[in-house]
């Protein structure tokens, strides 16, 4: 069934996974619970909320080997426990990760089938730090990678993943760095966890040139992201010519977020989402799928998600509920030139 003529349809799901939780951890169910009122937001679009079901085994195995899944399942059964200093498991965590991945598959399939113009998976745990064989950085399964392989299985062979989380999408890069049919563009703060994502990391072997890393200096904000969008994202996307566009949507690049020091505002997220939507319309029939990654200041997360949905719906930018950041933005001219030199555009 196609979306109604003249009206955008945005399908979304919310997967708070309350059983995947330990006290005093920033990655917790309140992030998703705060988004319960989405249907009350006035938008010129048809918003459809769908209930997620666990991702099928074949979708997980397209990214993660059986050994990794078995290891996660067994460790979860003995939870609560820590995988590393930041990443926890409870008895509910393995099924929670499957449900989060299933939510991304659900909205992705709605978009890829033509039943929706865009899909937004508001799920946790996040995924972009998880490699094929290692859970880390709050992430157990790589949701964006699972969505990319699902898109390929459904007949969309070339997939572009754009990751605007404040942390580098190291797991996504590791999974696809030798794959010429899946490209990744990651913007992230330089020098913070996980310590990867240098501009010179461009892919390997057959995948050389399909990885674009933009390691931004602390306090880069709306102006920097506008330049990256115009001078790096757009030429790279047009050269790659994707069949589907997947976004690892991290909202921890907002200036209020406690875990890092970039300075996006809700207006910055609005313009970034609008640029991605226009690129999807231009290059891949509007096939745009977003999956939540970081974002640990709950009011900023809520305001930024609202701004993104407004952009996807073709609405005016909502009023920013927060004052502007006070730090001046650093100059990024040399960074833009260095990234472009590695990719010759």
Catalytic site positions: 129
Helix (H) or strand (E) holding 162: strand 159-163
Per 3-state DSSP, the chain is made up of helix, strand and coil in percentages (nearest 5) of 40, 15, 45
CA distances from residue 107 to 117, 169, 225, 279, 290 in whole angstroms, order as listed: 10, 21, 26, 19, 9
Q: Characterize 1-35 residue by residue with b for buried, 16 or more Cβ atoms within 10 angstroms of its Cβ, and e for exposed.
A: eebeeeebbbbbbbbbbeebbeeeebbbbebbebb
* Token pair listed for 264: 């996006």
CA distances from residue 312 to 8, 275, 284, 308, 325 in whole angstroms, order as listed: 8, 10, 15, 6, 25
* Token pair listed for 310: 């407004």
Helix (H) or strand (E) holding 187: strand 182-189
CA distance 342 to 338: 7
């Amino acid at each position: 069934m196609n979306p109604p003529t003249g009206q955008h349809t945005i399908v979304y799901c919310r997967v708070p996974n309350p059983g995947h939780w330990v006290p005093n951890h920033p990655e917790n169910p309140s992030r998703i619970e705060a988004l319960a009122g989405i249907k009350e937001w006035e938008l010129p679009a048809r918003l459809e909320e769908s209930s997620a079901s666990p991702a099928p085994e074949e979708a997980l195995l397209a990214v993660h080997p059986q050994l990794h899944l078995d290891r996660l399942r067994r460790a979860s059964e003995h939870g609560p426990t820590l995988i590393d200093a930041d990443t926890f498991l409870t008895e509910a965590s393995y099924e929670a990760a499957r449900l989060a991945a299933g939510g991304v598959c659900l909205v992705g399939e709605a978009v890829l089938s033509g039943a929706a113009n865009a899909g937004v998976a508001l799920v946790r745990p996040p995924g972009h730090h998880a490699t094929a064989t290692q859970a880390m950085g709050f992430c157990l399964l790589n949701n964006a990678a699972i969505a990319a392989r699902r898109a390929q299985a459904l007949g969309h062979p070339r997939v572009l993943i754009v990751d605007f989380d404040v942390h580098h999408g190291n797991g996504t890069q590791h999974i696809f760095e030798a794959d010429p049919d899946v490209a990744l563009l990651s913007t992230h703060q330089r020098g913070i966890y996980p310590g990867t994502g240098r501009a010179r990391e461009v892919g390997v072997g057959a995948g050389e040139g399909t990885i674009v890393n933009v390691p931004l200096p602390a306090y880069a904000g709306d102006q920097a992201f506008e330049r990256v969008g115009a001078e790096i994202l757009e030429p790279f996307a047009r050269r790659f010519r994707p069949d589907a566009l997947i976004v690892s949507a991290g909202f921890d690049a907002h200036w209020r977020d406690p875990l890092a020091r970039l300075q996006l505002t809700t207006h910055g997220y609005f313009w970034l989402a609008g640029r991605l939507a226009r690129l999807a319309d231009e290059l891949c029939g509007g096939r745009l799928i977003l999956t939540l990654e970081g974002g640990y200041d709950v009011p900023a997360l809520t305001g930024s998600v609202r701004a993104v949905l407004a952009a996807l719906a073709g609405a005016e930018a909502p009023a920013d509920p927060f004052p502007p950041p006070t730090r001046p933005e650093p100059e990024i001219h040399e960074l833009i030139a260095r990234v472009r030199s590695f990719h010759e555009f």
